[in-house]
Amino acid sequence: MHLNHETDAPAADPVTFEDFLRVDIRIGTIVEAEPFPEARKPAFKLKIDFGPTIGIRKSSAQIVDRYALVELVGRQVAAVVNFPPRQIGKYLSEVLTLGFADETGAVILFAPDKPVPNGSRLF
**Which residues on adjacent β-strands are paired with residue 86?**
93
Is residue 88 classed as helix, strand or coil in its secondary structure? Answer: strand
Quickly list DSSP for 9-77.
SPPPPP--HHHHHHS-EEEEEEEEEEE-TTSSS--EEEEEE-HHHH-EEEEEE--TTT--GGGTTT-EE
pLDDT in tens, 25-69: 999 999 999 999 988 899 999 999 999 999 999 999 999 999 999
State whether CATH 2.40.50.140 applies to domain 5-109. Answer: yes
Domain residues of the chain, as ranges?
A: 5-109
Between CA 102 and CA 72 the distance in angstroms is 18
pLDDT in tens, 85-121: 999 988 999 999 999 999 999 999 999 999 999 999 9
Is residue 85 classed as helix, strand or coil in its secondary structure? Answer: coil
pTM above 0.85, yes or no: yes
Q: What's phi and psi for 73, nearest 5 deg? A: -65, 130
With beta carbons less than 8 A apart as the criterion, state whether 109 and 75 touch: yes
